[in-house]
Amino acid sequence: MAIAMAKLSEMVKADGGPPSTFEGDRDQQARFAPFWNEGSPEIEKVIPLSIEGAHGPLKARLYKNAAGHLPVTLFMHGGGFVRGSLDHCDCICRRMAAEGKLAVIATEYSLAPEHPYPAALEDIVNVLDWLFASAGDHDLDASRVSVTGGSAGATLALTSTLWRRDAGKKLPVGMALFYGGYDITNTGRESYRLFGNGQFGMSKARVEHYIHALVPEGTSPSDPYLAPLHADLRSLPPIWMGIAELDVLRDDQLEMAHRLEAAGVLVDVQRYEGLIHGFANRVRLVPRADDAIRTASRFLANLKARDI
């Protein structure tokens, strides 16, 4: 992990330093993506898709490494709701699909500040509608659709499932959540005190910067589809959680795991000591990240169809 952090710091310095705008941040991330994706597994099929979101067409990709009627997971990238792309998560999606037991569809979604909350959530709800209706067109099992993602993508996986539950819509069979953010008010937890200065990448200031960009004025900080620690968590499908030790959001995630268990949800909590927020995107240099991705993929591939 330390080697990966040093490499990223070196890349940022060589690129002229940290960007000062969201557009610059996205552009820099795009320039770095080829390095982090290098060495990813070859996949039999990587098919570009276009899916109609709530705010226009969204680019997506289907990763499938075996013939047959596979279960499928919808992957949402991270990036604080302000950045991230299909290329940004390519190294993760290829590894999730590599064993040929699970297909992956990665999708973009509307980004803040141009498209503040709830635009991204509305997009993912629409994408899930499309996936349930269209899975068979791609030889995917519509009865075994799951959701997954990292950071903001993990938050979207959970909040879109909560929204669908409350709307009486069909639910995914389960979730795999890498280091999500589940509250927007309590930045006073112990993990913020320990790691909030940013020595391990994600800082308290950056979290607050992202929240400011995402959340419109007047929005309730306890909105359950924005801050799911404030939600009723009952009747959710099984959840795998990958929690990094050195993450300002760590204690949000541990509290979420506790509340899910108290609500009767089946939760598989995996703690990754010595790793940082966003570790899955550094998988090229972090072997334990590869282990985590494959563990999450197997969890999703083994989920059974739900009784509706």
Please tell me whether residue 292 adopts helix, strand or coil conformation.
helix
Omega prior to 118 cis, within 30 of 0: yes
CA dihedral 72, 78, 84, 88 (to 10 degrees): -60
CA distances from 238 to 121, 243, 263 (A): 20, 16, 12
Whether residue 55 lies in the annotated active site: no
CA distances from 143 to 58, 109, 146 (A): 23, 24, 9
Which is the catalytic residue, given 90, 123, 247, 252? 247
Which is the catalytic residue, given 110, 160, 277, 297? 277
Please tell me whether residue 267 adopts helix, strand or coil conformation.
strand
Q: How far apart are CA 90 and CA 87, in angstroms?
A: 5
CA dihedral 153, 258, 73, 4 (to 10 degrees): 50
Whether residue 222 lies in the annotated active site: no
Kindly give the interhelix angle for 152-167 and 119-134, rounded to the nearest 10 degrees.
70
Cβ contact 214:290 at 8 Å: no
Cβ contact 168:95 at 8 Å: no
Q: Find tokens 């279960």 and name the residue.
A: 71
Q: How far apart are CA 229 and CA 208, in angstroms?
A: 17
272, β-bridge pairs? 244
Q: How far apart are CA 239 and CA 22, in angstroms?
A: 32
Whether residue 138 lies in the annotated active site: no
Which is the catalytic residue, given 146, 151, 160, 191? 151
Give catalytic residues, as residue numbers: 151, 247, 277
